[in-house]
Amino acid sequence: DTEVTQTPKHLVMGMTNKKSLKCEQHMGHRAMYWYKQKAKKPPELMFVYSYEKLSINESVPSRFSPECPNSSLLNLHLHALQPEDSALYLCASSQDPSGNTDTQYFGPGTRLTVL
């Protein structure tokens, strides 16, 4: 089973709101990822967690705050977002962080709209 789940599917928030995106996998994968995808563009990597520790932050603004409470769960906390942050946010996981060419399995994404 190669399933990554994400909630919510859709999210509309104002620029002063605080919200969180959630991602879960039960494949025993030890690397988890957040990507941002704008319309008609490929996904762009935001963060990577390896063994529950943040290993890559691709210079993402601090209004995005990732959290990895355990090996199955990944959150993305959102605060004071801008309209240009509206996008599809994809979570992915892969088996072995040290095997950095592992296949990444993606969730269905959260479609975020910032008003």
Partner 1 sequence: AQKVTQAQTEISVVEKEDVTLDCVYETRDTTYYLFWYKQPPSGELVFLIRRNSFDEQNEISGRYSWNFQKSTSSFNFTITASQVVDSAVYFCALNQNNYGQNFVFGPGTRLSVLP
Q: Which residues bind partner 1 (CB under 8 A)?
A: 2, 31, 33, 40-43, 45, 48, 50, 55-56, 58, 88, 90, 92, 94, 97, 100-101, 103-109, 111
- Select 18 or 38, whichever has its Cβ closest to partner 1: 38
Contact 84, 38 (CB under 8 A): no
* Length reported for the chain: 115
Which strands make up the sheet holding 18-25, listed edge to edge?
A: 4-7, 18-25, 73-79, 64-70
Minimum distance from residue 113 beta carbon to partner 1 (Å): 14
Q: Is 93 within 8 Å of 33 (Cβ atoms)?
A: yes
CB of 16 to partner 1, least distance (A): 27
Residue 43 one-letter amino acid: P
User: Residue 15 or residue 51: which is nearer to partner 1 going by CB?
Assistant: 51
